[in-house]
Structure 1
Amino acid sequence: MTDAEYRREEFTTDDEDPTASWDWYLSNRQGSVGLAFRAEEFRSDAYAQNVGRFQIVRFSSAAVDYRRSRRNIRADEGDNSYRLLIPLRGRFEFEQGDSREIFQPGKIGFFHWNRPLFMTHDDTISALIMTVPEGSIDPRRAEDAPLALDEKRPLVRALDAQVRLLVEAEGWTAADFSVAFSGALMLLDGVLNPFPAVGSGTRAADAERARRLIEEHANDRAVTPRAIAAILGISEPTLYRALKRAGYPSPGAMLRAVRVERAHRRLSAALPVDMDRIAFEEGFPSTRRFRESYREHYGRTPAETREDLFGDGGG
């Protein structure tokens, strides 16, 4: 049983020492960041919501430079999370590694919190910043992610809408908020590593049919690569070749990934969990195999994910 609660708080910089109060707030809500204030009369405010590590903050700020150095990163030792940034008003510049982008409403950013970064803006801005906990999305996808997401893709627009909903809706409970937050993470996972477009031809159609079968029936332990090939009326080697040409993983790898990711979404809700039941209902042959597959995919055990998100090993 998790004791995670839904919490929200509002913040406004202190009139007597606004810069010090903003520095304090960022350190407590995001982590260590170096600030260089450039507005004559600095003001900022924020509205934060969270369930465990699932956090989203809406903030506005007068002109300031934000720099997260290696020293800041060391001060937050062990925080390997990411951030999703959705501008609401204004224009600001962002740099991380070799990537440099100008962000404004309509353009979404995704960045590593455990790497140096620099952000600056000349005028007052407002934005949403969503914490993406380590292990909450596929680490390989996160590692290779671009700084700016492609705003022309419908899936990116769906992600934008889902994150805004978290802030705009009222009446959240811990369970509802964590489920909606997990939905945003699922969209983000798809944005960062979409399946490639499949070309034309018979084998391309077989690959798409195989993908749909896997996604629809992955929780059935009787669904195997051999069973999928039989349903399609092709041999297993032909199925493997069709998927490879389409840019997909092997059918066995796709089955494991779908099962693990669905189990992960259940672990990411602030509700009691039963590992044996999750393993059984998501199509794993045993709880032990579920734990092994989960660790291979996310780099941590299911219990470690629960502990990190909600302070609860989850059984």
Structure 2
Amino acid sequence: MTTLLSERSCIFNQADAYAVSEYVNQHVGSHEIRMPPKGQPRASISHRTFSSLDLCRISYGARVQVLSPALESIYHLQILLRGHCRSFARDREQIYTPGEILLINPDDPVDLTYSADCEKFIIKVPVGLLESACVEQKWVLPSNGIRFAASRHDLSTLECFVQLLGLICQEAESAAAPEVQVLYERLVASKLLGMLASNVARQIPAQSQGQGFEAVRQFIDAHLRKEISIEQLMAVARVSERSLYLLFERQVGVSPRDYVRQRRLERVHELLQSPAARSVTEVALDHGFLHLGRFSEAYRKRFGELPSQTTRRCQEGLAVNG
């Protein structure tokens, strides 16, 4: 099997199991362990951080039960290297043996029991990395988050992915440059989404994301004089808050709130150039700019002149033409 972390990455070797567990809590995922009351099991762990990924190889030296309500913001992909593992989640029990992969979703309750001779490799993948990869691939990001199917995965069918992990471990131990690490982490995310069954819809018309944004854009333009909440935009786009921010990042490169503020400035700029323009203060307040000093500075940065200069320039133009 491809080498997944060498002795160069060793953090604890034949150490107290609870000390190793505390290290895992700090770096790999929140959990608690339950072990036999007798004996002094010796645990070992190797660990590397690689961009936003965490790579970990661990053995506890005794039968151990690992529990967690949920991992919340991360996915755990575990490769069983030695021994066996019993997984019990959502009233379903499975036994994993060497050469099999277990993937734990962020909302999955964790109840895993490992044999005394068990050794496993874990790669921790943040939710945001997978969601960004989903948007980059122009796939539909589920409103309730990406969730992988609870199916068994054999290393023989994922050989290329395991080789990729081996390369990543080598790069991590060789202190690869940050830009190299980013390329590898994006490749991991794309590979996981492409090769494992999930709730992500992969084949969609290319314009779907744009059409979803167009509805939001029209709503914003129609309500620039009113309060516009993130919840309203989520309802119009029919996506989660997470997906909404990713949609705006992909379409316009700014957050929803920044885009609304930008459109309000543009609308004020249009109105101040109108022959029937009201005072700067009235127009600004009408569009939610309550702090006039900040409004003037934001306007100047956006259009290269103060609001009063815009109105003066337009009035002078009218006078010359009139």
TM-score (norm 2): 0.52
Counterpart contact for 2:75–2:126, Cα < 8 Å:
yes
Measured in 1, the distance between the counterparts of 2:31 and 2:242 equals 31
Please say if residues 146 and 198 of structure 2, whose CA atoms lie closer than 8 Å, have aligned partners that are also in contact: no
Aligned to 1:47: 46
**2:180 alignment partner, SS class:** helix
Shift of 1:122: 2.4
Q: Which residue of structure 2 aligns with residue 176 of structure 1?
A: 180
Partner deviation per Cα, 1:147-183 (whole Å, 9 max, x = no partner):
34443885x3322221232224542233223322221
Identity of aligned residues (%): 16
- How many Å separate the matches in 2 of 1:23 and 1:97? 24
| Distance change >3 Å, CA 115–CA 182, structure 1 → 2 | same
Letter in 1 for 2:20: W
1:161 to 136, 140, 163: 163
Residue 77 of structure 2 is aligned to residue 84 of structure 1: yes
Q: What's the counterpart of residue 130 of structure 1? A: 123
Partner SS for 1:128: strand
Give the Cα separation in 1 of the matches to 2:186 and 2:62: 33
Distance of aligned partners of 1:129 and 1:253 in 2 relative to their CA distance in 1, 3 Å threshold:
same
The answer to whether the 8 Å contact 1:95/1:118 transfers is yes
Shift of 1:54: 1.6
Deviations 1:207-237 (A, max 9, x none): xxxxxxxxxxxxxxxxxxxxxxxxxxxxxxx
Per the alignment, residue 26 of structure 2 pairs with 28
- Alignment of 1:250 with 2:205, yes or no, is yes
Residue type of the partner of 1:85?
Q
Q: Can you list the C-alpha shifts for 1:34-89, whole angstroms capped at 9, x where unaligned?
A: 2112373311111111135321112222223333343xx5xx8xx42111111122
Q: Which residue of 1 aligns with 2:196?
A: 192
Alpha carbons of structure 1 residues 303 and 30: separation in structure 2 relative to 1, 3 Å: farther
Alignment RMSD (CA, Å): 4.1
**Match of residue 66 from structure 2:** 67
Is 2:102 the partner of 1:109?
yes
Q: Matched residues in 2 for 1:68 and 1:13: separation? A: 23
Aligned mates of 1:142, 1:167 — CA distance in 2: 28
- 1:175 maps to amino acid: E
- Report if aligned partners of 1:97, 1:117 keep a CA contact under 8 Å in 2: no
Contact 1:106 1:151 in 2 (8 A): yes
Q: CA–CA distance in 2 between the matches of 1:303 and 1:183? A: 23
Per the alignment, residue 150 of structure 2 pairs with 147
How far apart, CA to CA, are the structure 1 residues paired with 2:92 and 2:30? Answer: 22
The residue that corresponds to 2:10 in the other structure is 10
Distance 1:46 1:82 in 2: 19
Q: SS at the partner of 2:100?
A: coil
Is 1:135–1:299's contact at 8 Å kept on the other side of the alignment?
A: no
Residue 57 (structure 2) aligns with: 58
Q: Is the 8 A contact 2:84 2:114 kept in 1?
A: yes
Contact 2:209/2:247 (CA < 8 Å) preserved in 1? no
Check if 1:94 corresponds to 2:87: yes
Unaligned 5+ runs, structure 2: 1-7, 132-140, 212-236, 251-322
Higher relative contact order (Cα pairs below 8 Å, separated by 6+ residues)? 1
Query: How far apart are residue 124 of structure 1 and its match?
Result: 1.7
Number of equivalent positions = 206
CA 54–103 in structure 1, closer or farther in 2 if over 3 Å, else same: same
1:94 counterpart SS class: strand
- Quote the Cα distance in structure 1 between the aligned partners of 2:248 and 2:23: 30
Query: Contact (CA 8 Å) 1:13, 1:22: kept in 2 or not?
Result: no
Stretches of structure 1 lacking an aligned partner (at least 5 in a row): 1-7, 197-246, 257-291, 306-315
Paired residues of 1:48 and 1:58 also in contact (CA < 8 A): yes
Change (3 A) 1:46 1:300: farther
2:277 corresponds to: none
Cα gap change, 1:61 to 1:137, in 2 (>3 Å): same
User: TM-score of the superposition, structure 1-length normalised?
Assistant: 0.53
Displacement after TM superposition at 1:10 (Å): 2.6
Runs of 4+ in 1 over 6 A off after TM superposition: 294-297, 302-305
Provide the secondary structure at the position in 2 that maps to 1:41. coil
Q: Is the 8 A contact 2:9 2:46 kept in 1?
A: yes
